[in-house]
Structure formats: C-alpha cells, structure tokens
Amino acid sequence: MSNAFKVGQRVLVKDGDPPGHIRTPFFLRGKSGVVETVHGEFRNPEELAYGKEGLPKKPLYLVRFLQVEVWADYRGAPGDTVSADIYEHWLDAE
C-alpha cells in the first residue's frame, strides 16, 4: 500500500465544500490532527454514491484531534479528543 501518511504524523484536513456525497465531517475541515491508525485502502465513497466504481482505492486513516483545537468554546477537559476516519485525498501533511 502506498499510504502517504504514517501513524503519529500531523495532518491538516482540507477545507472546502465540494458538491456531492462527502464523508469528511464539516466540523473537522481545516483542522489539524494526528494519524492514529492506517486502516488500509478502500473504494472512494464519493464515487460509489453515484454508481461509479470508486477506483483506485484510497488509503483511509483514523485521525485524532484535540477538542480544544476543534471547538472555540470547548467546555470539557483539555485532554479530550475526537477521532474520525478520513480519506487520504482530504488530508495534507502539516
């Protein structure tokens, strides 16, 4: 597998609001996080959603974010985190 990012690497989620079926939550776009897990390669849901094959497969990562860096007024503990599975084409190296 040719994953661009490795466990422990800092990544930045792309900003933007392209049309169509997108599985990158709005609240994480433009946020900076750390790769926790490299899940492997999967077909692209953005294309599968429209009857296309979704190939070539793309690497999928579990990325972890500090809540205080995601929400301006986070009221929980400073160590709290949120993680989500994000496709490689939605990530840039930081």
Partner 1 sequence: MAHHHDHDHDDHAPIEEGKAPSEFDLLEQAIRELLIEKNVFSADDLRRQVDRIDSVSPADGAKVVAKAWSDPAFKAQLLSDPKTAIEALGYDVGPAPNLVVLENTDGLHHVVVCTLCSCYPRVLLGPPPDWYKSKEYRGRVVIDPRGVLTEFGTQLDAAVEIKVVDSTADMRYLVLPPRPADTEGMSEEQLAALVTRDCMVGVTFPDSPSN
Partner 2 sequence: MGGKDFGPVNQRDHVRSEWDNRVDAVLRLMLEGRRFRIDEVRRAIESLTERDYMSFSYYQKWLAAIRILIVEKELLSEDEIDARLDQLRQKAPV
25 binds partner 2 (CB under 8 A): yes
29 binds partner 1 (CB under 8 A): no
**Judged by CB under 8 A, which of 3, 9, 32, 81 binds partner 1?**
81
Helices (H), 1-94: 45-48, 67-70
Q: Strands (DSSP E) along the chain, which ranges?
A: 10-13, 32-42, 58-66, 81-87, 91-93
Q: Per CB under 8 A, which region of 7-15, 17-25, 29-37, 85-93 contacts partner 2?
A: 17-25
Nearest CA to 7 out of 71, 54, 59, 72 is that of 59
Q: Which tokens belong to 62?
A: 């579990």
12 binds partner 2 (CB under 8 A): no
Nearest CA to 35 out of 54, 70, 59, 71 is that of 59
Which residues bind to partner 2, rule: CB under 8 A?
20-21, 25-27, 45, 48-51, 54, 71
Which residues bind to partner 1, rule: CB under 8 A?
23-25, 27, 39, 42, 45, 60, 62, 64, 67, 71, 74-77, 79-87
